[in-house]
Structure 1
Amino acid sequence: MIELDRAGRSFKVRREVVHAVRDLSFGIAAGEFVGYLGPNGAGKSTTIKMLCGILTPTSGTVRVAGLDPSRRRTALARRVGVVFGQRTTLWWDLPLRDSFELIRLLYKVDRKIYQERLAELTETLDLGAFARTPVRQLSLGQRMRGDLAAALLHAPDVLVLDEPTIGLDVVSKAGIRDFLRRLNAEQGTTVLLTTHDLGDIERLCRRVMLIDHGRLAFDGTLEELMATAPGEETIEDVVTRLYTGGAPPERAPQR
């Protein structure tokens, strides 16, 4: 479903070449739920932008659903849904339901199919209470549920999530996690999740990839990741050790 073969992306910054991603190779099969981790500047966002066709790789190849994202962006848009936690794809001054209708027109979704899909998403994500509310008046948790629905209205095969639970309260976060878990299990949607919230990874992902300085540093199951740092109790400690090359910071004593 997703394939990268020695993919790289470099930029020129003040006459110097910066390699945001280099020699990146991995594959994600249909139906997988994969966590993609890395510190700020590691290359996560660059990878996502290459997968979505926003950036063209400067070396290697990228394929999503059998398509070259940079050359087949329109065709790819029908197969992929994207949610950026810090940016909305909804129209700020329009009621949520009007944003959904515009998205239906953009993706040319049949009205009957759209109505069925919207009814399902409205019930599952509990959107009914604020469907008529302008997006600018929604709480962060409500907006994120709206963005998730918007990304899924055209029934994509692949869902790419960039920090989908950032800034959410405990209840909102739990609701979105539960929705994503069921979406993957019941509909077989392939999900690639980038996040700094390792609770998302622990509760949702069966496979984890770590990127550092543009290169893949780890690819395996959560159990295999924990085994890389014997004696550590949490995934946060393990990831910290992998990235710092030393002992994780001391945890505050429990009271």
Structure 2
Amino acid sequence: MAREERDGGLAGDGPGGAPGGAFIEVDRVEKVFDVRKRTGFLRSERRRVRAVDALSFTVARGEMVGYIGPNGAGKSTTIKMLTGILTPTGGRLRVAGIDPARERTRLAQRIGVVFGQRTTLWWDLPLIDSYRLTHRMYRIPDARYRENLDRCVRLLELGDLLDVPVRQLSLGQRMRGDIAAALLHDPEVLYLDEPTIGLDVISKAKVREFLRELNAERGTTVLLTTHDLQDIEQLCSRVMVIDHGRMMYEGPLAGLHEAGESERTLVVDLERELPPIELPSARVVRVEGPRQWLAFPAGKSAAPLVARIAERYPLVDLSVREPDIEAVIARMYGRPGPGAAEGAPGGAPEGAEGAVSAGDAAEGAVS
């Protein structure tokens, strides 16, 4: 069933639902938590921690956007507000023209959520039973449920896993199962929080290829939070960096590398131990016997560097290591962001009033 048919027309949802317009709108949104800290026997003090601070951005319908930053920056708190699990302290939020906090149940029919740290599947049941329960919870028409299930099972290679209890699945298998569950009701926007965390190379490739096809064929809007820059490079046309609850960068990934002056690492194995390799476009940062580590700008291609080394040195093997996002952010800012409470991270702090775990957000998004 087409989305226009089941939603009764998207144009009525306001600007956020208009094709080609801002599907997700975040306008000067804030989230403040009250935190109590014990200071003595039966004594405590309260302080306010600003997890999200005057944050503004838009995401167009059908766009795939990376949403990244160091741990505790406020990424998951933002997603919880976008799903309606948390209510903003200030500012304005709209997803498809809907206020998530006020119309959470209505919005749940149009969004999908996947958290890498927690599963929305039923732990002791076979995978197929979780899908059947999702079918009933969302009241998905039978024909559309079968079509979406068959498609997810085929593309994510879940056929041999449908009768296996979720607790017996590997992390990669369970993650693919979670992604399928989030898509059975044909959501218009998919929130992915660390969807490839802990996955092996093959599982990561399967998940990325599936997401590319999903976006290309169905125009699903994707907001992706991850620490793996390869997820961003292979999937997203735009990246947003949040630090201490504030937007620090928005634009193409190449611009992020330039802003952070990040570097990739070329690991070179030579036939024998030699003096440090000398090239104008790279610098040797480490030498161990015949192995050398060369740093070069992340925005530059490794191909010319590899070609020069192959011409001048007895090369045995090499590999390229991508910069860690934590290192990129640390290089860009190097100090606590403004407005952050002393010693407090940007995300929802432990013990904060109203704080919700990632698992709660995932479960609540389909309630």
Bin the TM-score by the shorter chain. over 0.9
1:241 aligns with 2:331: yes
When residues 69 and 231 of structure 1 are mapped into structure 2, their CA distance, relative to the original with a 3 A threshold, is closer
Aligned to 1:13: 35
Matches of 2:260 and 2:250 in 1, distance apart?
A: 15
Aligned residue type for 2:33: F
- 2:316 is matched with none
1:40-64 deviation per Cα after TM superposition (whole angstroms, max 9, x unaligned) = 1111111010001000000001111
Amino acid at match of 1:11: F
Quickly say closer, same or farther: Cα 1:5–1:46, change in 2 above 3 A.
Answer: same
Corresponding residue SS for 2:204: helix
Aligned length: 245
TM-score (norm 2): 0.65
Q: Distance in 1 between matches of 2:24 and 2:262?
A: 34
SS in 1 for 2:214: helix
1:28 corresponds in structure 2 to 59
Partner SS for 1:228: helix
Indicate the SS of the match to 2:119.
coil
1:218 offset after TM fit, Å?
0.5
Structure 2 residue aligned with 1:171, among 185, 202, 222?
Answer: 202
TM-superposed deviation, 1:231: 7.5
Letter of the 1:78 counterpart? Q
Moved beyond 6 Å, runs of 4+:
none
How far apart are the structure 2 equivalents of 1:109 and 1:231? 46
What is the percentage of aligned positions where both structures have the same residue?
Answer: 63
The one of 191, 197, 205 aligned to 2:236: 205
Counterpart CA distance in 1 for 2:129 and 2:56 is 40
Alignment of 1:76-225 (within 5 A): 76-225=107-256
2:71 maps to amino acid: N
Partner Cα distance (2:71, 2:84) in 1: 21
Query: How far apart are the structure 1 equivalents of 2:213 and 2:98?
Result: 27
Gaps spanning 5+ residues in structure 1: where?
Answer: 246-255
Aligned mates of 1:230, 1:211 — CA distance in 2: 17
Distance 1:44 1:163 in 2: 11
Offset from partner CA, 1:164-219 (integer Å, 9 cap, x none): 00011111111101111111122111000001111111111110000011100000
Q: CA RMSD in A?
A: 1.3
Further displaced range: 217-226 or 10-19: 217-226
**5+ residue gaps, structure 2:** 1-22, 37-45, 264-296, 299-322, 336-367
Deviation by residue 1:118-163 (Cα, 9 ceiling, x = unmatched): 1111111111011011101111111001000000000000000000
- Deviations 1:202-246 (Å, cap 9, x if unpaired)? 11111000001110000001122233245742354644411426x
1:2 aligns with 2:24: yes
Distance 2:108 2:208 in 1: 24
Equivalent residue for 2:303?
none
Tell me which structure has the larger Cα radius of gyration.
2
How does the TM-score come out when normalised to structure 1? 0.93
More helix as a share of residues: 1
